[in-house]
Structure 1
Amino acid sequence: MKIIVPMAGRGSRLRPHTLTVPKPLIPIAGQPIVHRLVQDIAKILKEPVEEIAFILGDEAFFGDDVVKSLEELAEGLGAKASIYRQDMPLGTGHAIMCAKESLSGPAVIAYADTLIRADFDLDPTADAVIWVKKVDEPEAYGVVKMNDNNEITELVEKPAEFVSDLAVIGIYYFKEVADLKDELQNVLDNNIQNGGEYQINDGIKAMMNKGKVFKTGSVDEWMDCGNKNVTVETNSRMLGFLDSDKVNLVASNVRLDNATIIPPCYIGDDVILTNATVGPNVSLGKGCHVTNSTIKNSLVQTHAHISNAKLDNAMIGNHVSYDGEFTSISIGDYSVLE
Structure 2
Amino acid sequence: MNIIIPMAGRGTRLRPHTLTVPKPLIPIAGKPIVQRLVEDIAKVYDGEISQIGFIIDRDFGAQIEADLKQIAAAVGSEGVIFYQDEKLGTAHAILCAADLLEGNVTVAYADTLFKADFNLDASKDAIIWVQQVDDPSAFGVVTVNDHGIITEFVEKPKKFVSDLAIIGIYYFRDGANLKAELQYLIDEDIRKGMEYQLTDALENMKKKGLEFVPGQVSEWLDCGNKDATVYTNKRYLEYLSNEKLIHDSVQLKNSVIVPPVFLDENVTIENCIIGPHVSVGKGSAIKNSIIQNTIIQTHSELNNIHLKNSMIGNYVTFEGTISDVSLGDYNNIQ
Same structural fold, with TM-score higher than 0.5 when normalized by the shorter chain: yes
**Number of the residue aligned with 1:111:** 109
Q: Distance in 1 between matches of 2:200 and 2:106?
A: 18
Q: Distance in 1 between matches of 2:121 and 2:76?
A: 25
> Normalised by the size of structure 2, how large is the TM-score?
0.98
CA deviation string 1:177-232 (max 9, x = no partner):
11111011010011111131111111101000101000000111110000001100
Kindly report which structure 2 residues correspond to 1:227-246, keeping only aligned pairs within 5 A, or say none: 227-243=225-241, 246=242
- Say whether 1:316 aligns with 2:309: no
Q: Distance in 2 between matches of 1:76 and 1:312?
A: 33
| TM-fit CA distance, 1:148 | 2.1
Greater shift after overlay, 211-220 or 148-157?
A: 148-157
Q: Secondary structure at the residue paired with 2:289?
A: strand
CA deviation string 1:259-298 (max 9, x = no partner):
1111001101111111111000000001111011000000
Instruction: Give the AA of the match of 1:163.
Output: V
Q: Distance in 1 between matches of 2:91 and 2:31?
A: 28
**Number of the residue aligned with 1:98:** 96
Q: Distance in 1 between matches of 2:66 and 2:22?
A: 14
| TM-fit CA distance, 1:122 | 3.1
**Number of the residue aligned with 2:333:** 337
Q: Secondary structure at the residue paired with 1:297?
A: strand
Pairing partner for 2:274 from 272, 278, 281:
278
Q: Distance in 1 between matches of 2:121 and 2:250?
A: 46
Change over 3 Å in CA distance of 1:54–1:124 after alignment to 2: closer
Q: Distance in 2 between matches of 1:137 and 1:217?
A: 19
Instruction: Give the AA of the match of 1:49.
Output: I
Q: Distance in 2 between matches of 1:121 and 1:44?
A: 4
**Number of the residue aligned with 1:15:** 15
**Number of the residue aligned with 1:31:** 31
Q: Distance in 2 between matches of 1:336 and 1:126?
A: 53
Structure 2 unaligned blocks of 5 or more: none
CA contact (8 A) 2:44 2:120 kept: no
Q: Distance in 1 between matches of 2:81 and 2:50?
A: 14
| TM-fit CA distance, 1:77 | 1.6
- Say whether 1:258 aligns with 2:265: no
Q: Secondary structure at the residue paired with 1:315?
A: strand
**Number of the residue aligned with 1:328:** 324
Q: Secondary structure at the residue paired with 2:186?
A: helix
- Say whether 1:43 aligns with 2:43: yes
**Number of the residue aligned with 1:87:** 85
| TM-fit CA distance, 1:119 | 2.3
Q: Distance in 2 between matches of 1:321 and 1:106?
A: 47
CA deviation string 1:145-183 (max 9, x = no partner):
112221111111110101111000000000001111101
Q: Distance in 2 between matches of 1:336 and 1:169?
A: 37
**Number of the residue aligned with 2:300:** 304
Instruction: Give the AA of the match of 2:331.
Output: S
Q: Distance in 1 between matches of 2:124 and 2:70?
A: 32
Q: Distance in 2 between matches of 1:132 and 1:174?
A: 15
Pairing partner for 1:294 from 290, 295, 301:
290
CA deviation string 1:11-56 (max 9, x = no partner):
0000000000000000000000000100110121011111111111
Q: Distance in 1 between matches of 2:84 and 2:329?
A: 25
Q: Distance in 2 between matches of 1:111 and 1:36?
A: 12
| TM-fit CA distance, 1:2 | 0.9
Pairing partner for 2:72 from 59, 74, 96:
74
Q: Where does structure 1 differ by over 4 angstroms across 4 or more consecutive aligned residues?
A: none
Pairing partner for 1:138 from 136, 139, 145:
136
CA deviation string 1:299-335 (max 9, x = no partner):
1100110111000101000000001111110000000
| TM-fit CA distance, 1:124 | 5.6
Q: Distance in 2 between matches of 1:333 and 1:123?
A: 42
| TM-fit CA distance, 1:125 | 5.7
Greater shift after overlay, 151-160 or 12-21?
A: 151-160
| TM-fit CA distance, 1:111 | 0.5
Q: Secondary structure at the residue paired with 1:88?
A: coil
Instruction: Give the AA of the match of 1:45.
Output: Y
Q: Distance in 1 between matches of 2:120 and 2:302?
A: 46
